[in-house]
Amino acid sequence: MKSVLLVDDDNTVLLGTGVRLKSMGYTVYTAKDAVSAVAAVRKNEPDVVVLDISLPAGDGFLVAGRLQSLIGSAATPIIFITASENPALRERAKALGAVGFLKKPFDATSLADAIETALSPGDNWQPWTAAS
């Protein structure tokens, strides 16, 4: 069973999205801030990270940078999520090697598609799954 680490400081997003991902067959781990996100990656070694950009104790970009420096998690695909309208965030996420970027509120299908793309890199894999 594939696992997803869902990182967001909004309980509604964590609960709603977590339930949806579990119903799709994923093991779901959650974290509410940058520090617990890095600890959760070290402890659980998820197959993909869905990472909010705006977090307490450091933003999603800081988390992504830390994950890239951790042995074993540098190749973990990251899908950024954000409620921000700032287009520069998408470019910054892309520059950090994110495989996806979803604008909140996103629908479950868009998230599922982004996760499946991130977990199934093959000949048809496109490393930038954008949904808005």
What DSSP letter does each residue of 37-92 carry, written as one string? HHHHHHHH--SEEEEESS-TTS-HHHHHHHHHHSTTTTT--EEEEE----HHHHHH
Query: pTM here?
Result: 0.88
CA atoms within 13 A on the CB side of 39: 8
Longest dimension (CA), the chain: 38
Q: Is 23 exposed, middle or buried (0-12, 13-18, 19+ CB in 10 A)?
A: exposed
Average pLDDT by consecutive 10-residue portion of the chain (132 residues)? 95 94 96 94 94 91 88 79 91 88 89 89 47 42
- Tell me what pLDDT residue 20 has: 94
Q: Does domain 3-118 have CATH number 3.90.1150.10?
A: no
- Tell me what pLDDT residue 121 has: 63
- Tell me what pLDDT residue 51 has: 96
- Tell me what pLDDT residue 130 has: 45
- Tell me what pLDDT residue 23 has: 95
Which residue, 11, 64, 7, is CA-closest to 37? 7
